[in-house]
Amino acid sequence: MTQNSFLVAEPVVDQDRHPAAAARRTVAQALDGVAGHTERARADAELVVSELVSNAVRHGGGLVALRVGVTPDGTGLRLEIEDASGRLPQARRVLGEDPCRAGGFGWPIVLRLATSVQVDELPGGKRIQVVLPLT
């Protein structure tokens, strides 16, 4: 995936403020320029980017980059989130022995809503690439 294919190339979202809210605004801005997407697609994209950015801040050592764009065929929204941790996302399907432990439930949501998910290790971190349907 090349950066040239993105409608919006967002530099690092200010982590001292509200990075998930800024990421949702970036997704909304990208979708404002795309005809034919559904409100459900917008809501799903905002949920997924919020989960991924929150995880990058909470578990990933900080958000490094966020890029949002439309697939070449126009049927999907592409999200790329880079963080500063090589630790791969982990799903938590049940509360288990420690119901007070935070996290682990957003990743299954991302996997369920996306048509494609790819996690690549990078020097000093990772990149998560997600494609969501626009209709």
Query: CB atoms < 10 A from the CB of 88, how many?
Result: 10
Token pair for 63:
């958000």
Which amino acid appears at position 25 of this protein?
A: R
Q: Above 70 in pLDDT, residue 76?
A: yes
Is 127 domain-assigned?
A: yes
Phi, psi of 107 (to 5 degrees): -60, -45
Full residue range of the structural domain in which residue 58 is found? 3-92+102-133
Is 97 domain-assigned?
A: no
Residues 87-101 have pLDDT tens digits of 988 776 655 556 565
Q: What is the pLDDT of residue 105?
A: 75
Is 28 domain-assigned?
A: yes
Burial (CB < 10 A; 0-12, 13-18, 19+), residue 25, is middle
Query: Worst-scoring range by mean pLDDT, 10-14, 108-112, 118-122?
Result: 10-14
Contact status, residue 83 vs residue 65, Cβ threshold 8 Å: no
Contact status, residue 37 vs residue 134, Cβ threshold 8 Å: yes
Total domains in the chain come to 1
Which amino acid appears at position 113 of this protein?
A: L
- Domain of 29, CATH number, reads 3.30.565.10
Residues 6-54 have pLDDT tens digits of 655 455 555 457 889 999 999 999 999 888 899 999 999 999 999 999 9
Q: Above 50 in pLDDT, residue 3?
A: no
